[in-house]
């Protein structure tokens, strides 16, 4: 009788071989066989088949013993589960030590050593035949081992992988998901280790993991072996690359976020018996990114090729979850795993759900927001597995990190908070799949949050997740897509926060009518532009020190402003690409500019900043010309280097035609020439003079956006910030309606685009109807008002059609 072949090399395996080698190994085989020719580096290796596992159990008579152990097992009985699982693992371990299986594994390992050198280090990973499939997406149920060297250790690791099919968590997972223990088999992959202990490694998703937005590659990375990122022990660097413009040939990282990278996993010296160990990352390494931009872009290219390949195999878009590693010896970047992403990509688009806090409170901890929900409950501090027994459903789980063993409890939590971890750590992955709000990387949370105290965990405020003291009320809004009526009039959104861009872009919309630059400058830069353009003029030693710290690594410091502003604007432009995104040049008032770091020495003191040195008057003025040059450089980078030519630029508070002409000339001098590469320049129509002289302004600008707040204030002579006269501020005043009429008809008379970016149409349906009747081109409102405005405008259009 012929001896069964229990080993298959990666070059012999394709994706269809899941029943034989499990999901992980089938995917590795597909990568190695199909994509190395496309320039993607994949380390070689082999799979020990699932048939080897089945034959080993059959020859040892192990199946009846295992059935007796597992039949009728009550998974809620933690003690019984642990005892029976340990006995089951011992049975499998004993069964998989047979001579023929051992012989074939050793022969294959020796062949791998011939390719890579004697005593080659390998990763030995479990690959279950029902693992990593669309209906079985949890990772980490079975054991894997890294930095395994020598024949005896390889055999030992393979046996321990086989026996890990009966870990406590794997048994619970199969029971929860309806899998028969004996219809799931285990294959083992043996792959050459990449020396990322000397360099870096991480995870790539070909979509945004929080929103499910498909047009970006999201990459995380940290120094050393990749286990720390998955296990949430370290906060990784994060990078975004925009897929559509990458495919057009543009090579610029969309956004970079520096992670703390506290720990680095390296090979152990062998004295302790462990194969790996964690060491603290030196401060100098923590302060720099673990990858150069060229490497990020190379990996993004790999990810796009892999996604395209899997999409061609399935016949439908297939976002991917990919693991990468950089080899510190040869300097190459390798792909060491890829599988279809199964959480964000499978979200239903039948409804849009938003969460919003209805109050506030003291902030106790902050970190990375996972998901966009809000949850509240009493705190339960969990130090280790033993503490889980006291956990009650509806509590907020707070811990250093989480592990796969915790998943049965995590799914009952109101929210999850961890001291460590990035957005691709275990806690984040599981919370995202379960739909539980989580804040990860909230350093010091286990000390700041007291057990038994009520808190509210909010992930609905952008990238930063916040833990508030007390139970703060919040509301949930859900609108079904079948309830939406899309009007003929373009309904756009007002947006300032780049971290909300991907989520907002997935709502029905026609682009961004107002992207506020001030939010990006205030929240992500924090430094006055002139303080970075002319740092020698900063008088305050405290400000100098703060700027040096924030702009560390940027030479000159002005590069910090240009890069951060271009990344913020670029995120918004990429999210809505190729729809138009109209970004308004900075419109701080002098008192607001002065609050920025280093700003006090550059700003005059004004009694009425609302009518002072703001908007267009600043841009060509010697007092701000150097700062304006930085704004222009950032926007030029978005359009020219990032390729986001859907970006349009809008000039705010332009009092006079001559002032507008000077601004146009200043922009051109800084590389932003109207009409060049399709650049359109708009102006805010928010001063009565803009309406009165709209024909003259139309000669300079490509379009108008009515700023109803300032236009109402200046038309009615009402300070909208004064409580005592606020009752007179009303966009519905007949004089204001006439102003709106003149603005819309004047712009259309000159063939110019005209929209409105105030909240008046959302607050007052009669104004929306009035503007619709005038034939306004677009109405732009805050995301929360989007659905209501669409409904009002649709009704107005229907009534207008009926009249006609």
Q: At what angle do helices 50-59 and 99-116 cross, to 10 degrees?
A: 150
Q: How many CB atoms lie within 10 A of CB 503?
A: 20
DSSP letters of 182-246? TT--EEEEEEEPP-GGGSEEEEEESS-TTT--SSEEEEEEEEB-THHHHHTSS--EEEEEEHHHH
Helix (H) or strand (E) holding 82: helix 78-95
Residue 676 CB burial class (10 angstroms; 0-12, 13-18, ≥19): exposed
Residue given tokens 């009002």 in the structure block? 792
Residues 6+ apart with CB under 8 A from 719: 610, 713, 725
- Give which of 581, 579, 569, 557 is closest to 642, Cα–Cα: 569
Q: How many CB atoms lie within 10 A of CB 595?
A: 13
Q: How many CB atoms lie within 10 A of CB 183?
A: 9
Question: Taking the mean position of all CA atoms in its chain, how far away is CA 296?
Answer: 15
136, 179 Cβ separation under 8 angstroms: yes
- Give which of 527, 480, 530, 470 is closest to 508, Cα–Cα: 480
First to last CA, the chain: 88
Q: How many angstroms separate the Cα of 264 from the Cα of each of 123, 201, 426, 604?
A: 18, 10, 17, 49
* C-alpha to C-alpha distance for 126 and 185, rounded to whole angstroms: 10
Residue given tokens 């236009």 in the structure block? 711
Helix (H) or strand (E) holding 145: strand 144-148
Q: How many angstroms separate the Cα of 641 from the Cα of each of 248, 265, 524, 636?
A: 12, 36, 21, 8
Q: How many CB atoms lie within 10 A of CB 411?
A: 15
Catalytic residues: 426, 757
The region, left, alpha or beta by phi > 0 then psi within -120 to 50, assigned to residue 194 is beta
Residue given tokens 């889980």 in the structure block? 388
- Give which of 251, 294, 325, 306 is closest to 38, Cα–Cα: 306
The helix/strand/coil state of 792 is: helix
- Cβ-defined contacts of 790-793 (< 8 Å, 24+): 790/484, 790/485, 790/486, 790/487, 790/491, 790/508, 791/484, 791/485, 792/761, 792/762, 792/765, 792/768, 793/487, 793/489, 793/491, 793/761, 793/768
* C-alpha to C-alpha distance for 190 and 121, rounded to whole angstroms: 10
* C-alpha to C-alpha distance for 390 and 312, rounded to whole angstroms: 48
Residue 451 DSSP code: T
* C-alpha to C-alpha distance for 419 and 487, rounded to whole angstroms: 46
């Amino acid at each position: 009788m012929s001896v069964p072949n229990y080993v298959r090399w990666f070059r012999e395996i394709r994706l269809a071989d899941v029943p034989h080698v499990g999901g992980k190994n089938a995917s590795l085989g597909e990568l190695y066989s199909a994509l190395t020719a496309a320039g993607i580096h994949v380390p070689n290796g082999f799979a020990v088949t699932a048939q080897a596992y089945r034959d080993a159990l059959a020859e040892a008579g192990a199946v009846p013993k295992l059935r007796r152990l597992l039949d009728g097992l009550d998974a809620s009985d933690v003690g019984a589960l642990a005892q029976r699982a340990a006995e089951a693992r011992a049975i499998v371990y004993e069964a998989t030590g047979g001579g023929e299986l051992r012989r074939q594994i050793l022969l294959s390992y020796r062949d791998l050593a011939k390719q890579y050198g004697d005593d080659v280090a390998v990763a030995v990973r479990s690959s279950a035949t029902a693992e990593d499939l669309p209906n079985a997406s949890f990772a980490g149920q079975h054991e894997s081992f890294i930095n395994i060297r020598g024949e005896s250790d390889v055999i030992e690791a393979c046996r321990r992988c086989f026996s890990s099919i009966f870990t406590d968590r794997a048994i619970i997972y199969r029971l929860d998901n309806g899998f028969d223990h004996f219809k799931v088999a285990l294959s083992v992959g043996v792959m050459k280790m990449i020396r990322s202990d000397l360099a870096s490694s991480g995870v790539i998703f070909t979509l945004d993991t929080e929103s499910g937005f498909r047009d970006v590659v999201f990459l995380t990375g940290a120094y050393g072996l990749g286990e720390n990122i998955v296990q949430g022990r370290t906060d990784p660097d994060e990078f975004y690359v925009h897929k559509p413009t990458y495919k057009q040939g543009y090579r610029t990282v969309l956004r970079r976020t520096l992670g703390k990278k506290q720990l680095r996993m390296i090979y152990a010296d062998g004295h302790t018996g462990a194969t790996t160990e964690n060491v603290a990352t030196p401060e100098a390494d923590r302060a720099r990114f673990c990858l150069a931009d060229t490497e990020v872009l190379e990996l993004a290219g790999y990810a796009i090729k892999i996604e395209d390949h899997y999409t061609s195999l399935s016949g439908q878009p297939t976002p991917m979850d990919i693991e990468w590693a950089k080899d510190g010896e040869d300097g190459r970047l390798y792909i060491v795993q890829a599988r279809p992403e199964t959480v964000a990509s499978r979200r239903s688009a039948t409804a849009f759900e938003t969460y919003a806090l209805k109050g506030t409170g003291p902030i106790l901890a902050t970190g990375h927001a996972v998901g966009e929900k809000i949850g509240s409950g009493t705190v339960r501090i969990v130090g280790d597995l033993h503490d889980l027994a006291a956990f009650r459903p509806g509590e907020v789980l707070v811990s250093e990190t989480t592990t796969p063993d915790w998943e049965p409890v995590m799914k009952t939590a109101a929210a999850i908070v961890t001291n460590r971890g990035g957005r691709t750590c275990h806690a984040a992955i599981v919370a995202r799949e379960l739909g539980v709000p989580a804040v990860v990387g909230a350093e010091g949370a286990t000390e700041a949050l007291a057990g038994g105290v009520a808190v509210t965990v909010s992930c609905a405020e952008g990238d930063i997740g916040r833990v508030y003291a007390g139970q703060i009320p919040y509301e949930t809004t859900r609108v079904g897509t079948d309830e939406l009526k899309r009007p003929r009039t373009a309904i756009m959104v007002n947006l300032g926060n780049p971290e909300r861009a991907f989520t907002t872009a997935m709502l029905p919309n026609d682009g961004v009518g107002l992207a506020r630059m001030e939010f990006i400058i205030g929240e992500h830069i924090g430094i006055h532009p002139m303080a970075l353009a002319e740092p020698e003029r900063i008088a305050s030693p405290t400000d100098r020190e703060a700027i040096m710290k924030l702009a560390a690594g940027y030479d000159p410091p002005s590069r910090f402003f240009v890069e951060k502003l271009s990344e913020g604007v670029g995120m918004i432009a990429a999210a809505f690409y190729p729809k138009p995104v109209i970004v308004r040049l900075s419109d701080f008032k002098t008192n607001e500019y002065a609050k920025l770091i280093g700003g006090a020495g550059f700003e005059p003191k004004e009694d009425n900043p609302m009518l002072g040195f703001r908007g267009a008057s600043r841009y060509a003025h010697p007092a701000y010309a150097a700062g304006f040059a930085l704004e222009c450089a950032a926007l030029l980078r978005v359009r020219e280097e990032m390729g986001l030519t859907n970006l349009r630029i809008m000039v705010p508070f332009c009092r006079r035609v001559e002032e507008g002409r000077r601004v146009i000339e200043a922009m051109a001098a800084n590389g932003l020439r109207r009409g060049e590469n399709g650049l359109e320049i708009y102006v805010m129509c928010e001063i009565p003079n803009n309406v009165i002289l709209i024909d003259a302004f139309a000669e300079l600008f490509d379009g108008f956006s009515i700023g109803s707040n300032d236009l109402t204030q200046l038309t009615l002579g009402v300070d909208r910030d004064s409580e005592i006269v606020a009752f007179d501020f009303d966009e519905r005043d007949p004089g204001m309606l006439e102003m709106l009429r003149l603005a819309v008809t004047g712009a259309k008379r000159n063939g110019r685009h005209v929209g409105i970016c105030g909240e008046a149409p959302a607050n007052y349906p009669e104004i929306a109807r009035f503007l619709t009747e005038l034939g306004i081109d677009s109405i732009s409102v805050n995301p929360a008002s989007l659905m209501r405005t669409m409904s009002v405008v649709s009704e107005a259009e229907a009534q207008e059609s009926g009249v006609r």
